[in-house]
C-alpha cells in the first residue's frame, strides 16, 4: 500500500490507472478506522478494482464550536488496517493542500442539506459536498462507497453526483454495529462507561418504533412517540432530532406507506451521535 499526501501525485496515480483500463473504487473517511470503515473498503475491493481510501479530517465540515481539534487520529494504526484490507493507496492530504490560501469555491446541495443534521450543523453539508467533489476529482473513482450510518450524507452525495453529472456510482452500504446494537462510530471513543450504556438508547428507540410498525402502526406520530420515549429515558441523553422521512427526499412522512427512514441524532453527554434504520411499511 502506498501512502500519498500530495493531491497532484494522487491525481497522477488515478490517471495512470485509468489509462491502463483499471476501474477505481474510492472510500472517503476521516480515519480512526473501525469495522464500519473496513466493511466499505472490503466492498470497494471487490471485482478487482484499484482501491483508494482517503483519510482527511475536513475542517470545512466542522462548525466553530465542534470537535475538529479533538477528533481522534491514529495514522499508524489506520495505515496498518487499510493495508490489511488490500487498499492500494491511502490518500492523506493536508488541509493546506485541500484549501490553500485564496480558496473560495464551495458546493451547495439544496433541499437535501437543509433538515436533520443540516439544521443542527449549519454549513456541514456544504463542507462535505465540497470536499467529496474535490476528492472525486483527485481519485477519479468509478465507484464511491459510503455508509448508511451517515444516511443524509449519502443522499446529499448521490444528489450532487446526479446534478453535476459526475461519472461515478455512489453506493450506500449497511451500518455496522456492536453486538449490542450501537452503531460503530469514531466518536464512540469519547464516551464514558455510563455514556456508552446510555448511547444504546438510540438504537433501542429506533427498534421500538420498528416493532410498532411491524405490529401494524402506520401513524408517524405514534412511531416517533415510541422511539422518543426510549431515547429520552436516560438523563444522560438529550434528543437533537427524530424524524420519519422519505428515504429519497428525506422529507418528513406522516404515514408509513412504503419504506421510510427513521433518523435520529442525540447528545450523550458532550458527544453527538447519529443513527437510523429502515422501516418497512406495506
Ligand atoms: P467517517 O470517517 O466517520 O467520516 O466515515 C467514513 C465513512 O464510513 C462514511 O461513509 C460513513 O458513513 C461510514 N461509516 C461510519 N460509521 C459506519 C458504520 N458504523 N457502518 C458503516 N459505515 C460507517
Q: What is the pLDDT of residues 127-165, one digit of tens each?
A: 999 999 999 999 999 999 999 999 999 999 999 999 999
Q: Is 36 in the pocket of ligand 1 (CB under 6 A)?
A: yes
Q: Which of 142, 173, 204 is the last residue of a domain?
A: 173
The number of beta carbons lying within 10 Å of the beta carbon of residue 271 is 18
Q: Which of 173, 204, 224 is the last residue of a domain?
A: 173
Q: For position 281, what pLDDT does the model report?
A: 86
The domain containing residue 262 runs over which residues? 186-280
Residue 276 belongs to a domain: yes
Q: Which helix (H) or strand (E) holds 82?
A: helix 75-84
Q: Grid cell 470497494 — which residue?
A: 44
Instruction: Tell me: do 151 and 258 sit in the same domain.
Output: no
User: Is the pLDDT assigned to residue 236 strictly greater than 80?
Assistant: yes
Q: Is 146 in the pocket of ligand 1 (CB under 6 A)?
A: yes
The whole-model pTM stands at 0.98
Q: Assign residue 144 the CATH number of its domain.
A: 3.40.50.620
Instruction: Tell me: do 103 and 235 sit in the same domain.
Output: no
Instruction: Tell me: do 59 and 163 sit in the same domain.
Output: yes
Burial 185-203 (b: 16+ CB within 10 A, else e): bbbbebbeeebbebbbbbb
Query: What nine digits make up the cell of 170?
Result: 455512489
User: 147, 155, 156, 181: which to mutate for ligand 1, most atoms within 8 A of CB?
Assistant: 147
Closest C-alpha to ligand 1, atom 6: 29
User: Is the pLDDT assigned to residue 113 strictly greater than 90?
Assistant: yes
Instruction: Tell me: do 119 and 10 sit in the same domain.
Output: yes
Q: For position 282, what pLDDT does the model report?
A: 80
User: Is the pLDDT assigned to residue 47 strictly greater than 80?
Assistant: no
Instruction: Tell me: do 168 and 193 sit in the same domain.
Output: no
Q: Which of 152, 173, 194 is the last residue of a domain?
A: 173
| Rounded Cα–Cα distance for residues 128 and 261 (Å) | 21
Instruction: Tell me: do 34 and 78 sit in the same domain.
Output: yes
User: Is the pLDDT assigned to residue 46 strictly greater than 90?
Assistant: no
Q: Is 30 in the pocket of ligand 1 (CB under 6 A)?
A: yes
How many domains would you assign to the chain? 2
Per-residue pLDDT, averaged over 99-119, amounts to 98
Residue 11 belongs to a domain: yes
Residue 179 belongs to a domain: no
* DSSP E strand boundaries for 223-259: 237-245
Residue 178 belongs to a domain: no
| Rounded Cα–Cα distance for residues 44 and 27 (Å) | 7
Q: Are 139 and 91 in contact (CB under 8 A)?
A: yes
Q: For position 254, what pLDDT does the model report?
A: 97
Per-residue pLDDT, averaged over 163-171, amounts to 98
Confidence band of 48 (pLDDT split at 50, 70, 90): confident
Confidence band of 22 (pLDDT split at 50, 70, 90): very high
Instruction: Tell me: do 32 and 93 sit in the same domain.
Output: yes
Instruction: Tell me: do 33 and 152 sit in the same domain.
Output: yes
Q: Grid cell 481539534 — which residue?
A: 69
Residue 29 belongs to a domain: yes
Residue 44 belongs to a domain: yes
Active site residues: 37
Chain-centroid distance, C-alpha 135 = 15
Q: For position 168, what pLDDT does the model report?
A: 97
Residue 233 belongs to a domain: yes
Q: Is 185 in the pocket of ligand 1 (CB under 6 A)?
A: yes
Instruction: Tell me: do 15 and 150 sit in the same domain.
Output: yes
Residue 118 belongs to a domain: yes
Complete edge-to-edge strand list for the sheet that includes strand 260-268: 237-245, 260-268, 271-279
| Rounded Cα–Cα distance for residues 273 and 165 (Å) | 32
The CA-based angle 109-112-114, given to 5 degrees, is 90
User: 26, 27, 34, 40: which to mutate for ligand 1, most atoms within 8 A of CB?
Assistant: 40
Instruction: Tell me: do 74 and 102 sit in the same domain.
Output: yes
Q: Assign residue 273 the CATH number of its domain.
A: 3.30.1300.10
Burial 142-164 (b: 16+ CB within 10 A, else e): ebbbbbbbbbbbbbbbbbbbeee
> Exposure of 216 by Cβ count < 10 A (0-12 exposed, 13-18 middle, 19+ buried)?
exposed
Instruction: Tell me: do 225 and 140 sit in the same domain.
Output: no
Instruction: Tell me: do 135 and 215 sit in the same domain.
Output: no
Query: What nine digits make up the cell of 276?
Result: 437510523
Q: For position 125, what pLDDT does the model report?
A: 98
Amino acid at each position: 500500500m502506498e501512502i500519498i499526501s500530495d493531491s497532484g501525485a494522487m491525481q497522477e496515480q488515478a490517471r495512470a490507472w485509468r489509462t491502463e483500463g483499471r476501474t477505481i473504487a474510492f472510500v472517503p473517511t476521516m480515519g480512526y478506522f473501525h469495522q464500519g470503515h473496513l466493511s466499505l473498503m472490503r466492498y470497494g475491493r471487490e471485482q478487482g478494482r484499484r482501491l483508494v481510501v482517503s483519510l482527511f479530517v475536513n475542517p470545512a465540515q466542522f462548525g466553530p464550536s465542534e470537535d475538529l481539534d479533538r477528533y481522534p487520529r491514529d495514522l499508524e494504526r489506520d495505515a496498518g488496517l487499510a493495508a490489511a484490507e488490500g487498499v492500494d493507496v491511502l490518500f492523506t492530504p493536508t488541509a493546506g493542500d485541500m484549501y490553500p490560501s485564496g480558496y473560495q469555491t464551495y458546493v451547495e446541495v439544496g433541499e437535501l442539506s437543509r433538515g436533520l443534521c443540516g439544521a443542527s450543523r449549519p454549513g456541514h453539508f456544504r463542507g462535505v459536498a465540497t470536499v467529496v467533489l474535490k476528492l472525486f476529482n483527485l481519485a477519479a473513482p468509478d465507484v464511491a462507497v459510503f455508509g448508511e450510518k451517515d444516511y443524509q450524507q449519502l443522499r446529499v452525495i448521490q444528489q450532487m453526483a446526479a446534478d453535476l453529472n459526475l461519472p461515478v456510482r455512489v453506493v450506500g452500504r449497511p451500518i455496522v454495529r456492536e453486538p449490542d446494537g450501537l452503531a460503530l462510530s469514531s466518536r464512540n471513543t469519547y464516551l464514558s462507561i455510563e455514556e456508552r450504556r446510555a448511547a444504546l438508547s438510540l438504537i433501542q428507540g429506533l427498534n421500538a418504533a420498528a416493532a410498532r410498525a411491524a405490529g401494524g402502526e402506520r401513524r408517524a406520530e405514534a412511531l416517533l412517540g415510541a422511539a422518543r420515549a426510549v431515547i429520552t429515558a436516560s438523563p444522560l441523553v438529550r434528543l437533537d432530532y427524530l424524524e420519519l422521512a422519505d428515504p429519497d427526499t428525506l422529507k418528513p412522512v406522516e404515514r408509513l406507506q412504503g419504506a421510510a427512514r427513521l433518523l435520529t441524532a442525540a447528545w450523550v453527554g458532550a458527544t453527538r451521535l447519529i443513527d437510523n434504520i429502515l422501516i418497512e411499511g406495506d
